[in-house]
Amino acid sequence: MPAPLHPLTSLTAACCTAAVTTAAGSWPLSVAVSAAAAVLAVRAGAGRRVLTAAAAVLLPLGLSLLMLHGLFFPEGRTVLAAWGPARVTAEGLAFALEAGTRTGACVLVLLLFSFTVSAPDLVAALNVRGLPPQFSFVLASALTLLPAVAGRLGAIRTAQESRGLVLGGGALARLAAVRVQMVPLVLGLLEESGHRAQALEARGFGRPGPRTSYREVPDPPAQRRLRAVLLVLAAAAVALRLGASWPAAGLL
């Protein structure tokens, strides 16, 4: 039976996948990464939570990209339809597709990591490597808060529907409804984050000085080598992307 992934291996894989996907700038690759992240989330038993949280983030973002770049893309030349100053261009739709799929892949990969990693194991692993306790403190607060986003969003939606908020209708009505839901969601998360921070601070989590960890997280040598390889591949992908963009920008 293979050893479970070390928290730092999961973190490295998520960050490097997001970096490579962003550097590649290819919507087929972004779609493939999104599909792989969704499958892994389902196999890990977190599919519903990951997909719900991703939808809450990506739906308003996708609508804004479609409206901004699909209708008002300044570099667009192939006009498919026009309504006054608004023009639907093939170049604008392609840019919106590439940006939306790339962002969606990064969001799904990072949500997969957030919903499947063990926060105590990750904090213990970071402490062993000598990271400042303040960093572990902030990370622990964020990781314990993220899994509650999807459930909180559903509760806000139910409460607002019971008060007569109409969430149906056209795209503009849905976009307005999403904005109304995001305000109490963000405010509630900020308040809960403050409560969690106070609770962790009361337990001495953020105090400076030597720290003793009673939680051991095995870190096989094979996974340490895998992390090094992933970091090298991600750095190479970013370097290739930057090198390809320099001549186009007139820097060479």
Tens of pLDDT along the chain (252 residues) come to: 456 788 889 989 999 999 999 888 888 999 999 999 999 999 988 888 888 888 878 888 888 878 777 777 777 677 777 776 777 788 888 888 888 899 899 989 988 998 888 877 887 787 777 766 666 666 666 665 665 665 666 677 667 666 666 555 554 555 566 667 777 777 776 776 667 667 666 766 666 666 666 778 888 899 999 999 999 999 998 888 877 766 554 444
Residue 164's pLDDT is what? 63
- pLDDT for 128 equals 77
Q: Identify the pLDDT of residue 251.
A: 45
Question: Quick one: pLDDT at residue 1?
Answer: 44
Given a contact cutoff of 8 angstroms between Cβ atoms, the answer to whether 39 and 127 are in contact is no
Name 79's bridge partners. 89
The dihedral over CA atoms of 135, 104, 121, 220, expressed in degrees to the nearest 10, equals: -110
pTM surpassing 0.85? no
* DSSP type of residue 209: S
Q: Side chain identity at 44, as an amino acid letter?
A: A
Sign of CA dihedral 206, 209, 214, 220: positive
